[in-house]
Amino acid sequence: MAEKNNTGRKIIANNKKAYHDYFVDETYEAGIQLFGTEVKSLRQGKVNLKDSYCTIENGEIFAEGIHISPYEMGNIYNRDPLRDKKLLMHKREILRLFGLVGQKGVTLVPLSLYFVSSRVKVEIGVCRGKKLYDKRDDMAKKQAERDIERTQKSKNWDD
């Protein structure tokens, strides 16, 4: 289900794989064009951002690969779970992103979906791909942090 964080956002889903596979240079917030049964399914938390990405076509930006499960109580109005979803951004932001994506190794990846009041928003990251050794470095750092926390907790128990 959705969880509320300190910025007033009610987070629906995070794309943890994106942070593992990419360096996130910048983030942007965009609205997303959805239908009623898709929003109801999002309220139940039935969405998967894994393997999703954004494309820019004819001055419009689309999110591809976001899987929103069909609403169980819906009927003929349920949409295709993997359809391309149009993102809502200002034209100048889209043109700026188009210029950034033109650079080598840069892609747009949806990082999270969340509610702001009653609206669904998408956080888009301008990302560069990580090499295998970068991923190994990140995993080693995380493991070292976990070990440090574990030893601090055990010392606090002994006191």
Asked if residue 41 is part of any domain, the answer here is: yes
Asked if residue 79 is part of any domain, the answer here is: yes
| CATH code (residue 100) | 2.40.280.10
Tell me the average pLDDT across 26-53: 86
Domain around 50: 3-130
In tens, the pLDDT along 99-136 reads 888 888 888 899 999 988 888 899 998 888 877 777 78
Asked if residue 153 is part of any domain, the answer here is: no
Question: By three-state DSSP, how is residue 34 classified?
Answer: coil
pLDDT of residue 132: 78
**Burial (0-12, 13-18, 19+ Cβ within 10 Å), 85:** buried
Asked if residue 159 is part of any domain, the answer here is: no
Higher pLDDT, 36 or 90: 90
Residue type, 115: F
Asked if residue 68 is part of any domain, the answer here is: yes
Asked if residue 138 is part of any domain, the answer here is: no
Asked if residue 74 is part of any domain, the answer here is: yes
- Torsion angle of C-alpha atoms 98, 57, 89, 53, degrees rounded to 10: -80
Asked if residue 156 is part of any domain, the answer here is: no
**Burial (0-12, 13-18, 19+ Cβ within 10 Å), 138:** middle
Domains in the chain, number: 1
pLDDT of residue 6: 58
